[in-house]
Structure 1
Amino acid sequence: MEFAISAHGLRKSYGDIAAVAGLDLEVRHGEVFALLGPNGAGKTTTVEILEGYRKRDGGEVRVLDHDPAAANAEWRARVGIVLQGTGEFEELTVGELVRHFAAFYPKPDDPDEVIARVGLTGKAKARTHGLSGGQKRRLDVALGIVGRPELLFLDEPTTGFDPEARREFWQLIRELNTAGTTIMLTTHYLDEAEALAHRVGVIAGGRLVEVAEPSRLGHREQAPATVSWRTPDGTVESAESDTPTALVAELAARFDGEIPGLTVTRPTLEDVYLRMIGAAA
C-alpha cells in the first residue's frame, strides 16, 4: 500500500448543503499531512468519514487498505484518534483513564510512559475534572496514542497550549512520526502546519484547492520577494523583486556597506492560505 489514506470523489451533503463535494485526497504512509481550511470548509466532515464515524454519500475511501465505513475492531485498533474531551470519565484520575483506554488495545504502550510523554506525570493521580484546559488537551493526546496507532488523527491538538507546551508537543509528534506513525493533522495554527507537515492540503467549499509541501504551496517559493530598507531621512522604502540578491547588492553599493533596516521577505504560508480561501470563496 503506497497510501495510508485514499479518497476519490468523496461526497457528503446535509440537506441541500454539500459539505464535501467530490474531494480527492491521498496521504502517504509515514508522512505528516496537515489539512487546512476555514470553519465550514468540510474539514471535520472529511476527517470523520476517514475515521469511520460518519457515513459518506458517495465516493471511494480506503484507510489502511480498508473501507472505514465497514471497519472492524482489528482495524480500529490500528487507528488513533485524539478526542475533544474526556466527558463522562471526569471522576477518574489521569492514570486510571489512560490505563482504562490501554486495555482496549491488543498491544498498548506503557501507560506511565505515555503520561510522561505528554507531560502529565505530575498529574497522574489528579482527577481529570480538575485539570486545566491545556492539561486536558494533553490527556486527550495520551488517549489517542496509547494504542500505538499506525495512523493517528489529530484534530486541533494544541488548542489551549502555551507556546512552550506547543513546542514540546511538536517534538512528540516528530518522535511518533520518526517511529513510523502516519499522522493526519487539522489545525488553525499555520506555523504548526509548517513546522510539522511534509505536505499540506487546503480545503475550501468541500474540495481540495491544492496539495503541496508547505514551502511550495501556491508557488510561494517562486513569488517575488519584498525588500525593505530605511533611507537616510528615516523613511522606509520597499520594492518587490524576482532577484532580491541583486537588489540587495545594488543597495549595499548605494549605502557603501550596511543597509539600514534591511529586510527580505517572501509570502508566508498564511499569506498564501488566505489568498487561496479568499479566491475559493
Structure 2
Amino acid sequence: MLLNLENTVNYLPPTDYAPIDRRTRCISSVTEYIDICKKLESKDSSEGTSKDASKGTSKGTSKDTSKDTSKEPHTLTAYELHRKERLLKTQKQKERFNALKESFNPSKDPNITTDRRCTLIIARIPYTTTESAIREKFREFNIQHIRIVPNRGYAFLTFPDYQTCSRVMHSTGGTLHLEDRPAILDYCKSMQPGFKPRKLGGGLGGRFSLKREKDELARNQALLKPRQDQRSVMTTRDSRYRQQQTQPSANVPHMNGRRLRQY
C-alpha cells in the first residue's frame, strides 16, 4: 500500500474566520456631524468676542497686576547658571593672564648675573650625570659655571663670552654623547630677547625673519597684479582691429554680435 491509513493527521479547527464568513464594519457618511461642527464653531467665536470685550474693560486692573508680577525675582535656569559661571571663570583667567604678562620681565631678574647669550643648554642627559663628567667633556673650553637640574635630564653651561659659545656649537654640531647616551646641545632660547613662555602665549613658533619674508612676498604679489587703468595699456594696430571686429557697428547689419556678409 502506498498510503498508511493507520497514522492519520489530527483535525485542528481554524484559528480565524473563513474569508467567505468574514464581515467588516459598515462605513457610514459624516453628513450628520456637519451641523454639530457648525454649532461648536459659532460657540467658540462668541466666547472669543466676549473675552476681548472683558479685556478692554479691565485695562487698568491688568496694568496693576502686571506691575506686581514684574517685581517677582527671576529664577535662573541651569543653562543660565552654567553660562554665568563660565563667563566669570573666563574673566578671572583674563585678569590673571594680564597680571602675569605685566609682571614678566626677565631682563630685570636679580638672579641673572651673566650674559644670557653666553648660556647653552644640554638636554636628554642621564640623571646620574655629574658636574665633573660635563667638565671633562668640555675641557677644551673654559666653562665658567655649570648648573644641573636634578631629576630633569638637562643642565645649563655658562661660558665667558659669546664667541666661546659659538665655537662649542660649531665643534659639537649640537649633539654629543654622555655616558653612551646621545644628548642635545643648543642655545638657551628662554633667555633670548623677545621670548615668552607658553602660559603667556608663547611656544607657538614663528620668527621675525619669516614675518618679514611674508610681508615682502605680499608686497611683490601686489606689484605683479595688473593695473585697472585702461589708459596705461598700450594699443596696437592688431588690438584695435580685433576690438572693431568684436564691437558691431550701427550701420552694418549684424546678428548676435557678428557682422553679416553684404552682397
Asked whether the two chains share a fold, i.e. TM above 0.5, the reply is no
Does 1 or 2 have the higher relative contact order (CA < 8 Å, sep 6+)?
Answer: 1
Range of TM-score over shorter length: under 0.3
**Taking structure 1 as the reference length, what is the TM-score of the superposition?**
0.26
**Taking structure 2 as the reference length, what is the TM-score of the superposition?**
0.27
Higher helix proportion (structure 1 or 2): 2
Structure number, greater radius of gyration? 2
Higher strand proportion (structure 1 or 2): 1
